Every structure is written in structure tokens, then in C-alpha cells.
């Protein structure tokens, strides 16, 4: 469900009649004029490679796209930078630290959770880890796989934005070799 369809009553005055402005992307109450903007939420995704260039994939433990491959990452908290979210999520999901990273690309996504559609903007970073010695599958992931680029099947990836990010990453490898 699009968030515009979830707001039947105005959260400010309680009356029925929230009109959605498709052009600007906000709901406006026809009674009191209260406005509610529907925006993309920031999220980060990490392309972490090992010494042989294999890509670290996680397996999703929860819906959406349960049991499908994913990249480590997650939502950016309010007041947090994308870079801080990247380091925090990698620590929370894998218990490893990054030695370096650089911004790669962004990709919009729709994240279906419960009945609601959340709009995200996934920011992808290419990362190197300090060490994989103590890596663990924590938080909302059920496993970890290192896959050589030539063996990656984008159809095994659950989320559309991550699939596109990996496709473009694989293309970037082919164009530089």
C-alpha cells in the first residue's frame, strides 16, 4: 500500500479527507490544510570485496525477500550521515570494521514491509574490510557468502535496487579489465 492510501483521517484535526498531490508528493487535509510529505528514506548498501575480488553477500533472515541474497547495509537513522550508517550497519550485521570505502552510486527502491510501501534511496559504497577474521552473521541476516564476480547471478538477489547496483558494479569491472 502506498502511504497516501494509509492516511484516511487527518493526523492534525481528525477529519476525513486527505488529498494527495501527485506532483509534489504530499497529502493535504481539505479541512485544516495540514500537509504531510511522503519522501524517500536514506539507506546504505556495502559492496565489500576480499583479496581475490569476491563480493560479500548476506542472506536475508527476514521479509521482504527472505532467504534471498543481499548486500550488508540498512536504513540511515535520523541525524546520521550515510558514512556513519555504513560503518554502523557493517558492525551490527557482520561485526567487522571497514578500512576504506568510496561512494559508488544511488538507486531508488520500494521496500514492502507489512502492507506498507516504504520508499528508499539506497546509497552504494565500494568497501574494503580491515579483516574478515571475526566475521559473523548477526542482526537480520542468516548467512554470509563470498561469490566471485563471474559467478554472481543477479536473479539470486532479492531487492530490485541491490540487483541493479550489483549489475552496474559487474559492468564497471568488465569495462576496466
Rank residues 31 and 97 by Cβ distance to Zn ion and give the closer one: 31
Q: Give me the least distance between CB of 7 and Zn ion, in Å please.
A: 10
Sign, CA torsion 146/58/61/95: positive
Q: Give me the least distance between CB of 48 and Zn ion, in Å please.
A: 47
Rank residues 15 and 130 by Cβ distance to Zn ion and give the closer one: 15
Give per-residue burial for 18-44: e unless 16+ CB within 10 Å, then b: bebeeeeebbbbeeeeeebebeeebbb
Q: Give me the least distance between CB of 35 and Zn ion, in Å please.
A: 10
Contacts with Zn ion, residue ranges (CB under 5 A):
10, 12-13, 29, 31-32, 34
Which residue shows C-alpha cell 564476480? 149
Rank residues 16 and 66 by Cβ distance to Zn ion and give the closer one: 16
Q: Give me the least distance between CB of 22 and Zn ion, in Å please.
A: 20
Rank residues 28 and 68 by Cβ distance to Zn ion and give the closer one: 28
CA atoms within 13 A on the CB side of 170: 16
Q: What is the DSSP letter of 38?
A: -
Under 8 Å between Cβ of 129 and 98: yes
Amino acid at each position: 500500500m502506498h502511504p497516501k492510501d494509509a492516511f484516511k483521517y487527518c493526523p492534525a484535526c481528525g477529519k476525513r479527507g486527505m488529498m494527495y498531490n501527485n506532483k509534489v508528493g504530499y497529502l493535504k487535509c481539505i479541512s485544516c490544510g495540514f500537509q504531510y510529505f511522503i519522501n524517500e528514506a536514506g539507506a546504505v548498501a556495502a559492496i565489500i570485496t576480499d583479496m581475490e575480488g569476491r563480493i560479500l553477500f548476506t542472506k536475508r533472515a527476514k521479509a521482504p525477500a527472505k532467504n534471498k541474497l543481499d548486500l550488508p547495509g540498512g536504513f540511515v537513522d535520523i541525524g546520521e550521515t550515510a558514512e556513519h550508517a555504513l560503518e554502523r550497519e557493517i558492525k551490527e550485521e557482520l561485526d567487522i570494521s571497514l578500512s576504506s570505502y568510496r561512494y559508488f552510486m544511488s538507486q531508488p527502491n520500494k521496500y514492502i514491509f507489512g502492507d506498507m510501501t516504504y520508499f528508499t534511496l539506497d546509497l552504494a559504497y565500494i568497501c574494503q574490510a580491515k579483516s574478515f577474521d571475526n566475521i559473523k552473521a548477526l542482526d537480520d541476516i542468516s548467512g554470509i557468502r563470498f561469490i566471485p564476480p563471474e559467478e554472481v547471478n543477479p536473479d539470486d538477489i532479492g531487492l530490485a535496487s541491490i540487483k541493479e547496483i550489483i549489475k552496474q558494479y559487474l559492468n564497471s569491472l568488465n569495462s576496466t579489465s
